[in-house]
Amino acid sequence: MPEQGSGAGDEGDADRFALPPLRGDGLPAAPDGSPLLQRWFLLIMIPLVLVGLVVIGFALASALRPVEFSPAERRPRGGPSETHDTAGRLTGETVETQPATGCATGVVVEGDLGARSAGLRALSAACQLVATGDFPVASDGLDNWRNAGEGNAVLRFVVFARTGLDSTVLVEGDRLVIELGNKFVFDDASEAAPTLMHELAHLGQGWPSVVLTASDELAAMQVQRLACNRIAVRQDPPRTCLDSDELLALDDPLEALVDAGWPH
């Protein structure tokens, strides 16, 4: 008997499922030799795809590149409701509070156990600086903060939406809330003292009753640098201290602050 699958029908099936022949240039072609894809189309699309990949690569690189700010821009001007513009914040869910002691009596630290512990340590370091008598404006600010009333002088740690910002003071109803960057919870919290002194200086300058100027911000940065020179820090100075050093090393730091948006 003839073997199954042999004969003319098999040849027809082979023709039906055969791949189209290739042209001399290697491009797929129909049985009559006409190209399945016009060569001009491929010659245009290949470089367009390559250009598109390059554009996407540059876009991704730009999006992932760290944003660099000048030392005068890292603490942007705020307004009547906050000393520095934060562009938004993310706060913790825990709102438990713990009262501070010593020179910060009347202040409460808000947050979870770790945040409260870090806040008390930062306040303790700031109190040691105030006790030297070398920070009169910040000392006045501490008094003004405490005078906000029971439960209204608040310290808490947040995540700021604005890159490079370490602190601000926020008017929240009847409360005056000094907000510090959440990074201080995970570092040595005493290193938050210089930026805390910066905000106390603004309170001592009369904010929120007065509009802060470039001169006020410059004075607060001088307080911050002096505080940095007085506290024990790690081998690598914290970003806060580098900021004040870089700003005050400029030929005209006051003009740099004006250029960054602070009023004269």
Whole-prediction pTM value?
A: 0.74
Give the chain as a DSSP string. Answer: -PPTT-SHHHHHHHHHHPPPPBPTTS-BB-TTS-BSS-HHHHHHHHHHHHHHHHHHHHHHHHHHSPPP--TTTSS-B--SSBSB--S-EEE-S---EEE--GGGTTEEEESSHHHHHHHHHHHHHHHHHHHTT--HHHHHHHHHHHTT-TTTEEEEEEEESSTT--EEEEEETTEEEEEEETHHHHS-GGGGHHHHHHHHHHHHTTTTTS---HHHHHHHHHHHHHHHHHS---SSPPHHHHHHHHHHTSS-HHHHHHHTT---
Give residue-wise pLDDT tens across range 18-36.
554 544 555 556 566 665 5
Q: Average pLDDT of 204-223?
A: 97
Task: Tell whether the model's pLDDT for residue 13 goes beyond 70.
Answer: no
Task: Tell whether the model's pLDDT for residue 16 goes beyond 80.
Answer: no
Give residue-wise pLDDT tens across range 72-114.
888 999 999 999 999 999 888 878 999 999 999 999 999 999 9
Lowest mean pLDDT among 48-57, 171-180, 199-208, 238-247: 48-57
183 neighbors 214 (Cβ within 8 angstroms): no
Give residue-wise pLDDT tens across range 121-165.
999 999 999 999 999 999 999 999 999 988 999 999 999 998 889
Give residue-wise pLDDT tens across range 217-249.
999 999 999 999 998 766 678 888 999 999 999
- The pLDDT assigned to 65 comes to 46
- The pLDDT assigned to 216 comes to 98
- The pLDDT assigned to 141 comes to 98
* Annotated domain spans of the chain: 89-259
Mean pLDDT score of the chain, rounded to an integer? 84
Give percent of the chain above pLDDT 90. 61
